[in-house]
Amino acid sequence: MTEQTLLADLSRQFPQLPNLDLTLLTRTLFPLSPVELYTLRLAHGDNAIMKAAIDSTIRQRQEEKEIAALELQHEICH
């Protein structure tokens, strides 16, 4: 996942938010570890935008792990 991927995903989810706000949010969330993301999600669970942004970050990282595992499995089989 790149910051640009996360920014694009958040822009689709929240087209009403200014790009600068989304960029700052992306730069805040992108470097966090999974534990930090989950902790932040618990602390800001009542904020719909923060919750969705954190969930999006977590989901993208999970998808990347699954893709990497499939690619590795494919390499091993061939």
Q: Give the Cα separation of 64 and 6 in Å (integer).
A: 12
Mean pLDDT, the chain, as a whole number? 83
Q: Give the Cα separation of 10 and 77 in Å (integer).
A: 36
> Which region among 8-12, 38-42, 43-47 has the lowest average model confidence (pLDDT)?
43-47
Contact (Cβ atoms closer than 8 angstroms) between residue 6 and residue 58: no
**Which H or E run contains 52?**
helix 48-77
Tell me the domain boundaries of the chain: 3-77
The pLDDT of residue 65 is 84
pTM above 0.75, yes or no: no
The pLDDT of residue 61 is 80
Residues 6 or more apart whose CB falls under 8 angstroms from that of 44 comprise: 50, 51, 54
